[in-house]
Every structure is written in C-alpha cells, then in structure tokens.
Structure 1
Amino acid sequence: MDDNNNDAQITTKTTFLKLSTYMEKNFHDVSFNFSLYPGFNSALNIERLLLMNLSKLSDFIENYVWLPFAISLLYFIIVVCWIPRLMRNRQPYRLNDVLSFWNLTMALFSIVGTFRLLPELIFMIQNYGLFQSICDDRYIDDPRYFLWMFLFQFSKMFELLTSVIIILNKGKLLSIHWIYNIISLCYSWQMLEMPSNTRWLVCTDFLVHSFKYLYFAMKTSTQNPLPRVFPMAITLLQILQAIICLLTEWVNLWYPQQVCHKDKYLSFAGFFIYGVFTIWLIRIFIEKYLPTTTTDYEAIETKKNE
C-alpha cells in the first residue's frame, strides 16, 4: 500500500516538474531530429529559420502578456467605434481586391497550419486514443509545434486587419465578428499555460479558418452570388468547432490537473467562451438558414427569383 502511495507521489511530482519545465523550456536543448516526433519528419525552410529564434518568440509572449488586452482595447475604440463613424458620410474605398487578397492570404496560412499540425493530432488519436489526445501534452517536445502555436497567436492580431478593410469598404461588421476577434486574441495568448488541449483548439481553428477564408476570398472576388450552401456549411463547421472545443474544455475541467495538464481557471474560461459561441452560432444558423413560417419561405423564393 505504501509503495502505491509513493508511486502516486512520484508521478504527481513528475507531472508538475513537466509543467514547470514546459513554462521554462530551453529551446536550445530540444532535439531538431524531427523523425523523433509524430507527423512529418522534416521542417520547411521558413520553419527552420524561425526555429533558430524560438526562444526569443517564447520570451516575447511571456514578457508581454498585457499586449493582447491593450490591442483589443485599441481595436474596440478605433476599429469598432471610431472608424464606422468616420465612414458614415464617406464613399467606400472599394477595397474588394485588397480584401480578396487578404482573405486568400489568411486561407493559405490556415491551410499550411492545418497541414503541419493535423497529422500529429491524428497520430495521437490512432495510437493513444481520444482521451489522451485531449489530455496528453507530449507534443510540447516538438519545437515545430511550439512554432506554430506562436504563429497561431500572432495571426490573431493580423486577423483584426480584416475588420478594418471591411469597414473602409463600407461593409457590415457583425457583432459576432469583432467579439470573436477580441476573445480569441486574448484567450490564445494564454496557450503557453495550457498545454493539454491546445492541439485540439489550434487544429480545429486552422481547419475551419481554411474553409472560411477561402469562401470569403471567393465571395469578394466575384460579383455573382455564391451558392447558399457555402455559408451554411461554413456556419455548421464553426458550430462543430465550438462544440468540439467545448467538450475538450469540459474534459479538462472534469479531470484533475495531474491528469489533464491545464490550469483550471483557463479551462473554466474556455468552457464559458465556447459555450456562449456554440449557442450564438446555433441561433444565427436557425435565424438565417431555417425559416419557420410560410411567409419566410415565400420571401426566400421571391428573393431567388429576383
């Protein structure tokens, strides 16, 4: 019995040691023999260049934890509140080509991110099961995964530029758009402290954004309306993403931190965030794509025939 207790204490100490070394990871000591890690056994040239400065990226994220909150505040004041008022009596800048190029750029970035990270998630599910893919943080040993975590975090800042282009083009900035931008920027900046289910959060985000930005790029590059099934499919993918992330956060809340390596306050915050977005997206889908009365159907058919 005592031996079992000692084994449990050793396991607990080892777990917390792993968590502490995660936060203080020395990227000069990690192995760059990529065949040791699941997924692809190589690195792109641009990845190798960035990996040389991985410790600097890590230090930047840890030393500027206030940055996403400051940027979010400026984004709300300037982009959400001030620029729309400024544009109220102005002509649009006709930035459809710029917006199309930007959406295509974000789509390609998301596709490459999916291409780099999804094989590791599939490997974990196939070899260790669904539960371990949520709670096991062995991916932190792969410097490429760290790199794409950082790129994912920085991309959330660049996503804010999409709102600027939309407003200057006198398009409608939806509430869910700018609220999601702020929350995802602030929450993703905490990923150094939540190794457990990050692979699910990042992979699903990259995958859904690949389709979303491709759709936006097509929409802004043509004058003809796209089939209605496209935005319906994108919204369904976003709902599925929110539900998956909600479930992974629930798993992290349910099991102790020694099992699922993530701070409980982050799991609670994530559970609340994804719960709200799941309900919000389902409501949007029902209101926009599931008319409930004969009048609604007649209005849709009339619009199609116009």
Structure 2
Amino acid sequence: MGYISIIFYGQARMKDRLPFNLRTPLVLWSGFLCIFSLIGSIVVLPEFYRTYKNHGFIATFCSDSFRHEKHVFYWYTYFTLSKVLELIDTLFIVLRKQKLIQLHWVHHALTMCFTFFTASNPPGTTRYMVGMNFAIHTIMYGYYCLTAMRIRIPRIISIMITGGQIAQMIMGLYIHSYVLMSIIFGFDSCDCSTRHCIAGFLVYALYFYYFVSFFIEKYVTGSGRHKQTAKQMDKPMIDTGSTPEHTTNKIIDLNNNNGLRMKSE
C-alpha cells in the first residue's frame, strides 16, 4: 500500500511541475539491472539444466533441490530482494511525467508480494519464476539502457520481448496447473504446497491477461497515431525508457545556473 500511495502522491506533486530529464541516471540504472539479471541467469540456469538432464522435465518444477546448492540459493535470495529495488522503475516514470499504465504498478507490486510470499519456503516452481525472470530481464533492461542512450532499436525486438513475457506467463500457468492437478489427484509428488500453487496460478493468470491485452492494444489494434509513435520509439512492457515524444522538444536543463530552465533540443 505504501508503494501505491507514493505513486499517486508523486503524480500529484509532479502535476504542475516540469518533468525531470533523468536520462543518465536511467542509463546507469537500467544497465545495472541488466548486468545483475545476466549474472543471476548465469548462476541459476545451469542448475536448471542439470536438474532437467539428470531428473527430467517434471523435476524442474516439482523438485526444490536448488536449496542444496548454496551459491544458487543465494541468488534466489538476491532475486527476492531485487523486487524491492525494481520499484525504482516507477520513480523514473513519475519524475519524468510519463504515462503510468496500470499494468506497470500492478505487476511491480504483486510480483514483490508474491516473491516474498514464497521466499520463506520456496517451492519447486520457484525455479521457473527465478530463471525465466532473470533471463527476460537481462534482455529487457538491456533494451531500456540502449533506448535511454537514444540508440534506435528495431521494433521487432520490442515485440519479441513482450512475446517472451507472455511465454513466461504461459509456462507459469502450465507448471502450476500441473502441480495443482498432482496435488488433487495424487499422481505425482511435488515440493509445492497447495496455497503456493493456487497463489502462483492466480498471479500468472492475471499477468497473462494483462500482457496479452497490452500486446493486442499496442501491436495489433492500436490507433494509427499510436502505431506511428511505436515505430519511432517502441517500448515493450513495464516502460522506463526515454523521454516521451510530446516532451522531447522541451526538457529540463539541470545544469544551468537557475537549476530549472526550459530549453529546446
């Protein structure tokens, strides 16, 4: 609730203020999260592969054997803590007076809550949540870093990132459905409690709805003006990218003597 309150308080405070030009901090922040996610991927994905190779596909989401590899489990903890840091993404949007879509703050708030909910006793399904999220975020934050540097990225990359996020939700729905059925009918033994399984299924179902709706609106049925804007400066989900087009010709100069002055780029 504190996060959501700060969002709307911040937007109210910024209503009659000029947007901050935080391009350099955004480049550094996105670059940091990209590198962090890359290291996380390098650590946790090999364990994922070993589990699949030695014990089969079902074990990748039914077994919590990752707990026995300390260096891997440490990164599961870092992953949980990173969900608090990622709330800073929203701060950039508010201070730069960008459009804050509902999906952004719902996704950040709910992901943080669900991650901490599973942290005390992480089930086998956590392997997918952590591994997939690290992998997608490596690409996504790398994309944000480059666009904040004003490096033009082909539109197909944005589409692929959002598509990857949707695939992540589909996989999350599948594994939680399987585990839930195994609990109900007893045909398999999985290291996942009923409450974790139900919570995970509901979270992924909500995300699937949000992400698919976003994809359709942005890439399929968007207005002509919206599509033209997307071609010029496209963004995937959870946008913290560069300054929106309606403010690119007027930004705040923080380096002049007055501290705040409008100038044309």
Secondary structure in 2 matching 1:233: helix
Greater fraction helix: 1
The answer as to whether partners of 2:219 and 2:227 remain within 8 angstroms in 1 is no
Match of 2:77 in 1: 150
C-alpha distance in 2 between matches for 1:137 and 1:183: 23
TM-score (norm 1): 0.70
**Within-5 A mapping of 1:54-203:** 73-78=1-6, 80-189=7-116, 190-203=118-131
The answer as to whether partners of 2:30 and 2:145 remain within 8 angstroms in 1 is yes
Match of 1:7 in 2: none
Match of 2:199 in 1: 269
RCO comparison, higher one (Cα < 8 Å, 6+): 2
The answer as to whether partners of 1:135 and 1:259 remain within 8 angstroms in 2 is yes
C-alpha distance in 2 between matches for 1:167 and 1:298: 24
C-alpha distance in 1 between matches for 2:67 and 2:172: 19
Once the two structures are superposed, what CA deviation does each residue of 1:64-90 show, in whole Å capped at 9, x if it has no partner? xxxxxxxxx211101x21001100111
In structure 1, runs of 5+ residues without a counterpart are: 1-72
Which among 269, 281, 291 is matched to residue 221 of structure 2?
Answer: 291
Which among 132, 144, 159 is matched to residue 204 of structure 1?
Answer: 132
The answer as to whether partners of 2:41 and 2:131 remain within 8 angstroms in 1 is yes
- Is 1:220 paired with 2:181? no
Q: Aligned in 2, Cα 1:140/1:234: closer, same or farther, shift over 3 Å?
A: same
Q: Aligned in 2, Cα 1:92/1:137: closer, same or farther, shift over 3 Å?
A: same
Considering only aligned residues, what root-mean-square deviation do their CA atoms show, in Å? 2.2
* Paired residue type of 2:149: S
C-alpha distance in 2 between matches for 1:137 and 1:114: 18
State the Cα distance separating 1:245 from its structure 2 match: 1.3
State the Cα distance separating 1:194 from its structure 2 match: 2.9
C-alpha distance in 2 between matches for 1:276 and 1:177: 13
State the Cα distance separating 1:101 from its structure 2 match: 0.8
Q: Aligned in 2, Cα 1:132/1:87: closer, same or farther, shift over 3 Å?
A: same
Secondary structure in 1 matching 2:58: helix
The answer as to whether partners of 1:193 and 1:262 remain within 8 angstroms in 2 is no
Q: Aligned in 2, Cα 1:97/1:276: closer, same or farther, shift over 3 Å?
A: same
Secondary structure in 1 matching 2:71: helix
State the Cα distance separating 1:125 from its structure 2 match: 1.3
Aligned residues: 228
* Paired residue type of 1:269: A
Secondary structure in 2 matching 1:193: coil
C-alpha distance in 1 between matches for 2:66 and 2:135: 18
The answer as to whether partners of 2:64 and 2:122 remain within 8 angstroms in 1 is no
The answer as to whether partners of 1:100 and 1:217 remain within 8 angstroms in 2 is yes
C-alpha distance in 2 between matches for 1:196 and 1:220: 37
